[in-house]
C-alpha cells in the first residue's frame, strides 16, 4: 500500500483491516510493513493509524531502516514490533567495516527496544553468518528463496 493509500479514509488498508477482523487470525500472525519514507509526512496521523492497526493484533515493522529519512525519534515515538535493516547495509557487510559497525549499532538499539530484527538482502552464507553473530532474529533474501507467486508458494510449501 502506498503512503497516499495508507492515509486515505476509504483506502485499501481499511478494507484489508475489515477483512482481517472477519478472518479472526491469532494475534501477531501478520505484520504490517511501513517504510521510513511513509513516516515523514503527517507523523501524528501515521502514528494514529499504526496504533489502530497494532490494536487489532497486527505487528508493525519498519521496513528499509537506515536509509532515507532515518530518525531515531521514530523508534522512540512509534509502537513498533519489528525493525528491518535495509539491504544496502547487508550488501557490504562482509567487506566494509563501516557497514558492519552500522549494522551492529542498529541491532544494539533494536535489542534495547525489544524489537525483532530482520536483515534484508541476505545473499551469501558469509552474510548469514555475520547477521547471526550480530544477533538478528531473521534474515530475508535470495539465500533463503527468491520471490514467487502465491500459487508457486502453495505448490512448493503447502501441498507437500
Judge contact between 48 and 28, C-beta under 8 A: no
Q: Which residue carries 519489528 as its cell?
A: 82
Active site residue 19: no
What is the distance between the alpha carbons of residues 75 and 80, in angstroms, rounded to a whole number? Answer: 7
Q: How far is CA 73 from CA 39, 40, 42, 61, 139, in A?
A: 11, 11, 15, 15, 25
Which candidate in 33, 36, 95, 120 is catalytic?
120
Judge contact between 83 and 116, C-beta under 8 A: yes
- Exposed, middle or buried: residue 31 (CB in 10 Å: 0-12, 13-18, 19+)? middle
Query: Where in the sequence numbering do the catalytic residues fall?
Result: 120
Amino acid at each position: 500500500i502506498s503512503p497516499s493509500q495508507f492515509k486515505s479514509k476509504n483506502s485499501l488498508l481499511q478494507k484489508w483491516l475489515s477483512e482481517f477482523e472477519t478472518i479472526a487470525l491469532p494475534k501477531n500472525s501478520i505484520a504490517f510493513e511501513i517504510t521510513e519514507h511513509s513516516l515523514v509526512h503527517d507523523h501524528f496521523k501515521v502514528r494514529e493509524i499504526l496504533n489502530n492497526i497494532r490494536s487489532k493484533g497486527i505487528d508493525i515493522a519498519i521496513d528499509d531502516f537506515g536509509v532515507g529519512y532515518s530518525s531515531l525519534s521514530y523508534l522512540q515515538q512509534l509502537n513498533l514490533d519489528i525493525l528491518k535493516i535495509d539491504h544496502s547495509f547487508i550488501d557490504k557487510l562482509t567487506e566494509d567495516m563501516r557497514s558492519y559497525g552500522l549494522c551492529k549499532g542498529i541491532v544494539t538499539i533494536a535489542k534495547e527496544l525489544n524489537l525483532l530484527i530482520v536483515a534484508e538482502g541476505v545473499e551469501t552464507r558469509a552474510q548469514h553468518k555475520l547477521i547471526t553473530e550480530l544477533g538478528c532474529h531473521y534474515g530475508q533474501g535470495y539465500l533463503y528463496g527468491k520471490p514467487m507467486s502465491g500459487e508457486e508458494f502453495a505448490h512448493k510449501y503447502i501441498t507437500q
